Structure 1
Amino acid sequence: MEKLRTFLIFISQVLIASLLSFVVASLMHSQTTLSGLIDVGAKLSLNDKLTTVYYDFIGLLPVYGSIIFAGMLIAMPIASVIKRKLQISNRLIHCLAGAMAIVTILIAMHPILNVTLIAGARGTGGMLMQSIAGAIGGLAYAFMHEHNQKTRQ
């Protein structure tokens, strides 16, 4: 029973971290795309911007959200193993693992789809912003994991 409880806690922590990463990644994607439109002279109202953010969120959630979850599901346990072996800061290693999960996802999907999965990640700045979203999710996972460890003692 304890193993099931531990597994469910792990899944819920990864899910929350993934959702946080997705929300930040989606917002950054929208802002990058909107900025590009404004740079070429598009006049966008506040309503246009908010509508874009909403539809990007809804449109990206099923695929990008699921892929982020899968990436985090792989990255977080690997980071935990590395942390134990190398005695690295829990927060640092999970933050890096979250960022690398997003970068790996975006790089891996490009040759498969022959297109950048997230338009907001086409340039170096966009890729950096997406990796920051992953880092935020990884950091959230680290905080939840630390809290869980303290409450179990």
Structure 2
Amino acid sequence: MINTGRRNEQGFSLIEVTIVFAIWAVLLSLAVPSFLQMVQRLQGQCFMEKLSVDIIYAANEALSQRGKVKIEFSIDYNQYVVRRSWQMGRRIVNVPRGFTIYSNFNNGTIVFNELGHVGQAGSFYLVYPDGMKKRLTVYMASGRVAVSTVK
């Protein structure tokens, strides 16, 4: 029998596996930060859309039920609460973790009257973890809302 010095090799050597893992780690370290930033932007966008829908819903509900609806923001707890004058119940919505919110409304409260109109115009600001700001403006009388990016 002739021995050629080669064995029947199967699989990868330790060096090959180490190189593959090193390349994989570098690619992953480049992808994860941009992925996390994308997730934060989507969280902020979803929250602003939810807030917009809740404001429009509150105005329509106040009109249809002929009662007052309040949206109260709690800066301390980083959440807002929707309250109806004709019900004891309320709905609490939390601001996503890492985001902060503030407003220029009196006591952080929007009040819709029986006609579905807001008593005071104002804006809410959502500050993203990376410092970007979004503004949601509620216009007088109509209660119409608009979302914009603040520079």
Do they fold alike, i.e. is TM over 0.5? no
Higher relative CO (Cα under 8 Å, sequence separation at least 6) belongs to 1
Say which structure is richer in helix: 1
TM-score with structure 2 length normalisation? 0.30
Larger Rg: 2
TM-score with structure 1 length normalisation? 0.30
